[in-house]
Amino acid sequence: MVHVEPAHLVELALRNTPPTDDDAEALRHVERCDRCRDALRMMTRVVTAARTAELVDLPTAPPERVWHRITQGMSRESAPPRPPPRTLGRSTKRKLLAVVALAVVAGTVARRTLKRNV
């Protein structure tokens, strides 16, 4: 049985584009396959959580002293980088959180896939 690629499951969970014939075929497989159904369910939950996250749920910028130490350490080797912006917009934070969440999901799926294939 050929399973749905993790990247395709992520796309299905995101639902950012109109469904294609490949999506329909993948969803038919998901209906019959416990493994892919569990993976899609987990990714969908992560996407939903990321999309409904409130600003208070998101990490805050580190204290100024942390950035100062980083720039001091790097300035010994090269020119110091510019500090990050003090605040991120709501949309940027949500996108960042979604990317982090999807990276976690992709890593989990990849680990599970590797375990099953070993």
Q: Does the protein bind Zn ion through residue 3 (CB under 5 A)? A: yes
Residue 3 or 93: the one with the smaller Cβ distance to Zn ion is 3
CA distance 76 to 28: 57
Q: Does the protein bind Zn ion through residue 40 (CB under 5 A)? A: no
Residue 9 or 50: the one with the smaller Cβ distance to Zn ion is 9
Q: Which of residues 63-82 bind Zn ion (CB under 5 A)?
A: none
CB of 5 to Zn ion, least distance (A): 10
3-state helix, strand, coil in the chain (%, to 5): 70, 0, 30
Listed ranges 29-37, 65-73, 99-107, 110-118: which one lies at the site for Zn ion (CB under 5 A): 29-37
CA distance 44 to 38: 10
Q: Does the protein bind Zn ion through residue 33 (CB under 5 A)? A: yes
CB of 37 to Zn ion, least distance (A): 8
Angle between helices 21-32 and 6-14 (to 10 degrees): 100
Residue 35 or 112: the one with the smaller Cβ distance to Zn ion is 35
Token representation of residue 107: 């890593």
Q: How many Cβ atoms from other residues are within 10 Å of residue 61's Cβ?
A: 13
Binding residues for Zn ion, per CB under 5 A? 3, 33, 35-36
